[in-house]
Amino acid sequence: MNQKYIIAIDGGTQSTKVAIFDTKGTEICSHTVKLRPMELYGEGFAEHPDDDLWDSLKEACTNTMKKFNGDHKSIIGVGLGSIRCCRALVKEDGNLASPVQSWMDLRLSRPYEHTDDSVRYVTTTTGYLTHRLTGETKDTRSNYVGPWPIDPATLDWYEDKDKFEAYTTPREMLFDLVDPSSVLGYVTSEAAAVTCIPAGIPVASTSNDKAVEALGAGLEDDGTLLVSLGTYITSMMMGKEDKADTMNYWCNPGATPNEYLYESSGIRRGMATVTWIKDLLGSDIVKEAESREISTENYLNILASEIPAGSDGLYTVLHWLARPTQLHERGMIIGFNGNHNGIHMFRSVLEGIAMTMKNHAQAMCDEVGIDLKRMIVSGGGSNGELFMQIFADVFGVPAKRNVVNGSASLGAAICAALALDVYKSREEAVKNMVVKRDEFMPNSENVKLYKEINEKVYSKINLYTDELLKESHEILSKRQL
């Protein structure tokens, strides 16, 4: 039997990755295109400049196809995943009426307001890219997170006229909704010409990007937690039912029909803070890493492993991007003394991420009523040996990573495999396509230390700084008026 392949699209906030997998989950080749810097302006506006999501997808697809040495006729489909909580305003001809609004944009906290008559459709990133690839006005029902006129019970547009009209978007401006892991349409000849994806192959729907990542990580409803290390860092677990009015987590649609993903609070600009520290440490670190033929992040992990757990009392609070409802928030690194250097700062950021996510995840687990047994860490940050060990020690449970740790791309491939009946169930697909890499066991001495630091110091920092930051925000706001 000839081997079959699937193209997986993983659109993120900082980059677009396109990979080709075989049906056993082996990544054959891939190409990643870094997105242009976000345009931040006005009253909390944040946009992807020009048509960056589509332009980066064309480039990533073209280069991936150049790297693929297999038979193009053996490619059976495309799994399309992209960023959630974004808004794309599309003209009649399929082009953008204005740049895609990022999830960081304050306009995404309220329903769409029609101010531009050139806008024909209002959709998500997955809807926009579906239209670009297939010409169809269809989208996955599982990527509508935020103020959309969608019924949370049916995941379809509200049938109740009053509820629908409260969101101020006419039905004719919205795409038709389909289930995740189903066929959206087929690659057009126009799209094939600019992406090098074979014309006529099916494009499969996925879900919101976190649910796709959870699927690609092999997350099951068995007491396992997934920590996703992206621009937005969060923790997730699978659930059996959609729950409303929760306090410490919320429910998302899953990447296959009738499944749910429970998601804790998270860290905005999470891994971007790690990138910031790396850039701050300068070119000497980069040059030394290059001389060792390793990544800068791996070199920093090696250096920071020599710093004792707790970073000698240096603590990082990860509010690099304030929440829309808490605009006074600021990031902080506190506790400096004369012994600290840049590597202490790097380790402190890693520990701050782990302790913040421990507190968010524990609040979710307590509310759901389960004991955390083990965890999976996904995303590029999981390549760091030190970071993985810090997670195991802070959480006090084994921390696993998979061979494919950029699991959103593998999740997109699994969605396509299910849509095309390569596998008959989620369980069968995960068993065949998700492969464990290794596991880090908690160090009992560090577990005790981090627990004491977190409970007595780290979790209480905001109690002492919050009022000062509110005062600062008020002073600076007055100055800007």
Domain residue ranges of the chain, discontinuous segments joined by +: 5-205, 218-406+435-481
Architecture of domain 218-406+435-481: 2-Layer Sandwich (3.30)
Nearest to 311 by CA among 347, 356, 268, 262: 347
The answer, yes or no, to whether residue 1 has pLDDT greater than 60, is no
Q: Do domains 5-205 and 218-406+435-481 have the same CATH topology?
A: yes
pLDDT digits (tens, 9 = 90+) for 372-385: 999 999 998 999 99
| Average pLDDT value over all residues in the chain | 94
Tokens at residue 151, please? 């019924």
Tokens at residue 314, please? 């240096």
Other beta carbons within 10 angstroms of residue 15's beta carbon come to: 15
Mean pLDDT of 452-466: 96
Q: Work out the burial of residue 302: count CB atoms within 10 Å of its CB; fewer than 13 is exposed, 13-18 middle, 19 or more buried.
A: middle
Question: Which contacts qualify for 146-151: CB closer than 8 Å, 24 or more apart?
Answer: 146/85, 146/108, 146/109, 147/108, 147/109, 147/110, 147/111, 147/112, 148/111, 149/111, 149/174, 150/177
Cα-based distances in Å from 71 to 19, 65, 168, 198, 228: 15, 11, 48, 11, 34
In angstroms, the CA 383 to CA 389 distance is 11
Phi, psi angles (nearest 5°) of residue 427: -60, -45
In angstroms, the CA 300 to CA 386 distance is 9
pLDDT digits (tens, 9 = 90+) for 382-432: 999 999 999 999 999 999 999 998 899 999 999 999 999 999 999 999 999
Residue-level pLDDT at 77: 98
Give the amino acid at 464. Y
This prediction's pTM = 0.87
In angstroms, the CA 135 to CA 146 distance is 25
Longest dimension (CA), the chain: 70
Residue-level pLDDT at 145: 83
pLDDT digits (tens, 9 = 90+) for 307-360: 999 999 999 999 988 888 889 999 999 999 999 999 999 999 999 999 999 999
> What class does CATH assign to 5-205?
alpha beta
In angstroms, the CA 340 to CA 104 distance is 33
Q: Are 102 and 272 in contact (CB under 8 A)?
A: no
Cα-based distances in Å from 95 to 99, 114, 137, 211: 10, 17, 13, 28
In angstroms, the CA 171 to CA 86 distance is 19
